Structure 1
Amino acid sequence: MHSKIILKVFGLLLMVYSISLVPPIVVAAYFQDGAFYDFISVLIGVLLTGLIIWYPVRNHSRELKIRDGFIIVVMFWTVLGLAGALPFFLAQEVPLSLTDSIFESFSGLTTTGATVIIGLDELPHSILWYRQQLQWMGGMGIIVLAVAILPMLGIGGMQLYRAETPGPIKDSKIAPRISETAKALWFIYLGLTVACAISYWFAGMSWFDAFSHSFSTVAIGGFSTHDASIGYFNSVDIEMVAIFFMFLSGINFALHFTAFRSLSGYSYFYDPEFKAYAGLLVGASIIAILYLYLQSVYPTWEEAIRYGLFQTVSLATTTGYANADFSEWPGFLPVMLILMSFIGGCAGSTAGGMKVIRFVLLFKQGMREIIGLLHPNAIMPVKLSGKSIPEKVMTAVWGFFSVYVFTFAILMLTIMALGVDQVTAFSAIAAMMNNLGPGLGEVAANFQGMSDPVKWVLTFAMLLGRLEIFTLLVLFTAAFWRK
């Protein structure tokens, strides 16, 4: 490991992040909401910290190694989550403790969307904008942004890209150079955000709410500027816009790029992960709609379709928006929707969960094992779109699933030992590791009632989910630190 190059990149990334505090400062000045100097002080503090770290090693040049990439990514997300808590902690209009401020910051950056704030409608506009912007930055990943705009990272940027981006296909590139790939992803991301904001505005939102919700919709974060979430607007048009862009944001952004470049949508329908993703959403939506109507939760088909479709897409894509209190729905439906978040969206999207491609490969592997019982000597490779999947990939998928389940169980037992009941513990850890947000039981509305030790465990679970477990856990292995 090369400490000087790590410090150099880390300092640069902090300075890049400090620039993101300019928009909340502008919003605070425009609305005169009292948080102007809080954001100014945080911007200066983060910028100076990054400058102090970077300046002594500014002339050091060396290629990043894989271990360097892991350290930078984990260190940056951790420090960024702590620095991101400062505006919440300093603002007098937001009476949050240090623990709650850190929880809210990590929830935003990891696009989890769980909140400890009650009374969003009364908060300063700049704080509301800042919460939404945190999710937007965390959606595509500020490190991917840095790789796009900091050419001085050179080829070493690939190590950051591999360590930070989600999914089992991290080495796939849509452009020859990794910086070009990062730029392409961010242009698509920005384009979807603007289109989403304009659509929300046409559907009836104010410009402030439209851009704020476009940030958390395209990032699949779920933060809102209102306590009642999307339900505050009570608008079918707004809900349809949200469904459309939640669905798009759960798709691999490389597919969006391919479709845009070719001006054709055929690339979507040739992709097995997209077909599985769309099929799962359609199937789960039909089940939810039928159950809500047949159980007389809603008296008309129109209402059953409206609420069943919205909540299914919101939770299955790990967004976490609400137009109804799904935790109060009867029977198996709330649990089914929480379980859908374990699958999540496609690899290469802004969604959380284990990713659809892993679910597809696990299913195919399970079928292969069953058929293998009948034909023990047969050689049956797992295939996707007619191509054999290397056994190394299958082993990695099984390894991820095993570690995911084991980590989930440990964290759930931990917060149960801290006094949380079984239903709340299960849904809370699921919501954190899948970067979903809402849960069941005591965390159906928000996480304000959880104790501080529980909130620290949940914050750790958010980071695990955002970095897909291995990126963080690899730092706790003895092999990582051996020379």
Structure 2
Amino acid sequence: MQFSIVFKTIGLLLMIFSFTQLPPIIVDVAYGEQQYPVFLTALLITLISGLGLWLPFRHSKKAFRIREGILVVVSFWFVLSLFATVPFLLTESLNMSFSDAFFESMSGLTTTGATVITGLDDLPKAILYYRQQLQWLGGMGIIVLALAILPMLGVSGMELYHAEASGISRDRLTPKLTQTAKVLWFIYIGFTLACALAYYLVGMNAFDAIGHSYSTVAIGGFSTHDNSIGFFDSYLIETIAVFFMFFAGINFSLHFFVWRQNHINHYYQDSEFKTYVAFLVFLTLLVFIYLFNTGQYLSIGEAFRVALFQSVSMATTTGFISTDFSLWALGLPVLLIFASFIGASSGSTGGGIKVVRVLLMFKLAAKEIKKFIHPNAQINIKLNKKSVPDSTLVSVWGFFALYVIAFFVIMLALMFTGLDQVSSFSATAASINNLGPGLGKVAANYGSISDSAKWILSFSMLLGRLEILTLMALLNRAFWRF
């Protein structure tokens, strides 16, 4: 293991991250709420720490391999969450413990959206902006952002990108990594600006529009109000949120190809996209029919409005709330939690198992049924009209096996901390799928659970954000053999 290049890279990334404290300072100056010393202190602490890691190894020219890439990605998400706690700890408006602050920062950066904070409507604007910004940075992955900068500083980034983007579609993009990172961020920023403008035009003030555009495009779910999107009680705002949650849940490589070739056919020709759309339509109709038939909403329009918003929000793992879905009758709350298991598309800012993996598992199951009926038949599994290699199928099932094992271990660990079964199940699903809202004791927020449960869930959020394999590789003894 070449630790010099690891420390050098983490130091560089920390120095880059330190300057993200500047926008909250600008927001605070604009609103005059005297929070700028908090963010200035956080900037200096992060910058000096990054400089301290980088200076001793600044002349290191060792090659960057996949093992160093994995270690940097996992370490940096942990270290970044650690330094992101500083504003939460220093501000007097929150009075947070270290466990709460780390949970909040990890939730933000992994775009989970679970929170321990109440009274959001009364918090200083700079703190609210900072929470939203954490999700925005974590949405595309701050490491992918850094890949557009690190090559200029003498750090090769291909191994970092492969470790960060562990989805099976990662190789579909251009091999020019710096160019790819820049284009992806231009698309990401474009979506954010369009979303903020749309929110503003239909009634949000400028601050709320910018803050909610961050968490919408990042599929994060943090809000500047305790009642989330439900605070605005606006059909137009919910419609815009649905539109941008939907597009943020699409594989960004598809957006990349549409941008590069200026043709939308890439959407319609993609198997995962068609499955993604079909799943959202089916879920919305199912929730709508149950809501209307059970009489929870007397108006067809109101039932459809709520069903559409909550279905898309939960299925894409955004976690925005327009109404308290945990109070719905029958199994609808559990159904929406289960929808997050499928999640958004691979290569999107969403969480979950990802649509393409679920699609391949269904195709493989169908193949086994056909093989049982016709033992001698040669049946190929195809995706986008191309045969899927056996190695990819093995990888998908390996991921699913690790996912199931991790899920049950985390859920049991939460139950041993004293959480009931419903709360443990939903909290595990909400964290490992980077969803946010749960059921039972975690339906409103996570402030009432124990510190040990918060640390377990923080680990679960990171596990889900890195799609399990990256973090599990680090925990394997073979990884550390020199």
TM-score range, shorter chain: over 0.9
Query: 1:308 maps to which residue?
Result: 307
Is the 8 Å Cα contact of residues 150 and 156 (structure 2) preserved in structure 1? no
The Cα shift of 1:154 comes to 6.1
Q: TM-score, normalised by structure 1?
A: 0.98
In the alignment, does 2:25 pair up with 1:47?
Answer: no
Query: 1:140 maps to which residue?
Result: 140
- Which amino acid in the other structure matches residue 28 of structure 1? D
Unaligned runs of 5+ in 1: none
Query: 2:121 maps to which residue?
Result: 121
What does the per-residue CA deviation read over 1:133-160, in whole Å, with 9 as the maximum and x for residues that have no partner? Answer: 0000000000000001222366830111
Counterparts of 1:190-201 in structure 2 under 5 Å?
190-201=189-200
Counterparts of 1:92-171 in structure 2 under 5 Å?
92-152=92-152, 156-171=156-171
Is the 8 Å Cα contact of residues 9 and 155 (structure 2) preserved in structure 1? no
Distance in 1 between the 2:153 and 2:18 partners? 18
Distance in 1 between the 2:373 and 2:384 partners? 24
The Cα shift of 1:8 comes to 1.1
Moved more, 116-125 or 255-264: 255-264
Distance in 2 between the 1:37 and 1:206 partners? 26
- Which amino acid in the other structure matches residue 128 of structure 1? L
Counterparts of 1:4-19 in structure 2 under 5 Å?
4-19=4-19
Identical residues among aligned pairs (%): 53
Q: Secondary structure at the match of 1:21?
A: helix
Moved more, 37-46 or 143-152: 143-152
Unaligned runs of 5+ in 2: none
Is the 8 Å Cα contact of residues 5 and 60 (structure 2) preserved in structure 1? yes
Distance in 2 between the 1:456 and 1:9 partners? 26
Is the 8 Å Cα contact of residues 343 and 356 (structure 1) preserved in structure 2? yes
Moved more, 255-264 or 34-43: 255-264
Query: 1:334 maps to which residue?
Result: 333
Q: Secondary structure at the match of 1:79?
A: helix
Query: 1:482 maps to which residue?
Result: 481
In the alignment, does 2:225 pair up with 1:229?
Answer: no
Distance in 2 between the 1:18 and 1:248 partners? 30
Is the 8 Å Cα contact of residues 132 and 224 (structure 1) preserved in structure 2? yes
Q: Secondary structure at the match of 1:225?
A: coil
Is the 8 Å Cα contact of residues 217 and 319 (structure 1) preserved in structure 2? yes
What does the per-residue CA deviation read over 1:16-47, in whole Å, with 9 as the maximum and x for residues that have no partner? Answer: 10011110111112212121101101100100
In the alignment, does 2:260 pair up with 1:258?
Answer: no
Query: 1:241 maps to which residue?
Result: 240
The Cα shift of 1:62 comes to 2.4
Count, aligned residues: 482
Is the 8 Å Cα contact of residues 65 and 156 (structure 1) preserved in structure 2? no
In 2 relative to 1, CA 359–156 (structure 1 residues): closer, same or farther, beyond 3 Å? same
Q: Secondary structure at the match of 2:169?
A: coil
Query: 2:211 maps to which residue?
Result: 212
Distance in 2 between the 1:430 and 1:419 partners? 17
Query: 1:82 maps to which residue?
Result: 82
The Cα shift of 1:166 comes to 4.4
Distance in 2 between the 1:20 and 1:34 partners? 18
Distance in 2 between the 1:243 and 1:220 partners? 11
What does the per-residue CA deviation read over 1:343-391, in whole Å, with 9 as the maximum and x for residues that have no partner? Answer: 1111110000011000000000111111111222333221112211000
- Which amino acid in the other structure matches residue 37 of structure 2? Y
Query: 2:172 maps to which residue?
Result: 172
Query: 2:36 maps to which residue?
Result: 36
Superposed CA RMSD: 1.1
Moved more, 31-40 or 436-445: 31-40
In 2 relative to 1, CA 109–333 (structure 1 residues): closer, same or farther, beyond 3 Å? same
- Which amino acid in the other structure matches residue 251 of structure 2? N
The Cα shift of 1:302 comes to 0.7
What does the per-residue CA deviation read over 1:203-222, in whole Å, with 9 as the maximum and x for residues that have no partner? Answer: 10011100000000000000
The Cα shift of 1:444 comes to 0.6
